């Protein structure tokens, strides 16, 4: 479980480093899981392994295919999904640990995790106050 937590931390840090919007990050994790499942099912997982002791940051760098940044959501999710699948495969060779790390990362993304809360904004204070007042206001009676 500790290895999966550490792996999830690497995944979330990677999203932060790539400045990925939370909604896209969720889709990228799902795409990576799908790609890994299909590759395992079809027997097309890479045969080579990352050298022992290679830092995760170096594995991520080496797995980057150098594809230019994408301008549309479909290609962005496909590109980053493949990259995430590839580097997590090499950084976490144990399939159970890798799958759990992806699950933990996805769960945190769905629950609104984002570093420094820079991507998830709260409503402006005036709006929040107005909503609270409206919710706590007594119900108006219907006029006859």
Q: Please state the domain extents for the chain.
A: 2-136
Give the model confidence (pLDDT) of 99-142 as tens digits.
999 999 999 998 886 655 444 444 344 444 444 454 555 555 55
**Model confidence, pTM:** 0.76
**Tokens at 70, concatenated:** 């994408």
Give the model confidence (pLDDT) of 64-75 as tens digits.
988 776 678 778
Confidence of residue 10 (pLDDT cuts 50, 70, 90): very high
Report the percentage of the chain scoring pLDDT > 70: 76
Give the model confidence (pLDDT) of 41-87 as tens digits.
999 999 999 999 999 999 999 999 887 766 787 788 999 999 999 99
Q: Are 94 and 6 in contact (CB under 8 A)?
A: no
**Tokens at 34, concatenated:** 């799908």
């Amino acid at each position: 479980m500790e290895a999966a937590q550490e792996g999830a931390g690497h995944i979330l840090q990677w999203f932060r480093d790539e400045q990925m919007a939370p909604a896209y990050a969720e889709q990228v994790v799902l795409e990576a899981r799908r790609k890994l499942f299909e590759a395992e099912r079809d027997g097309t997982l890479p045969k080579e392994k990352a050298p022992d002791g290679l830092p995760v940051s170096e594995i991520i760098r080496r797995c980057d295919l150098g594809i230019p940044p994408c301008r549309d959501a479909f290609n962005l999710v496909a590109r980053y999904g493949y990259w995430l699948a590839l580097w997590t495969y090499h950084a976490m060779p144990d399939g159970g640990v890798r799958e759990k790390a992806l699950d933990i990362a996805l769960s945190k993304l769905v629950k609104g995790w984002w570093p420094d809360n820079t991507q998830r904004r709260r409503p402006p204070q005036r709006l929040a106050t107005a909503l609270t007042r409206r919710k706590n206001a007594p119900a108006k009676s219907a006029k006859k």
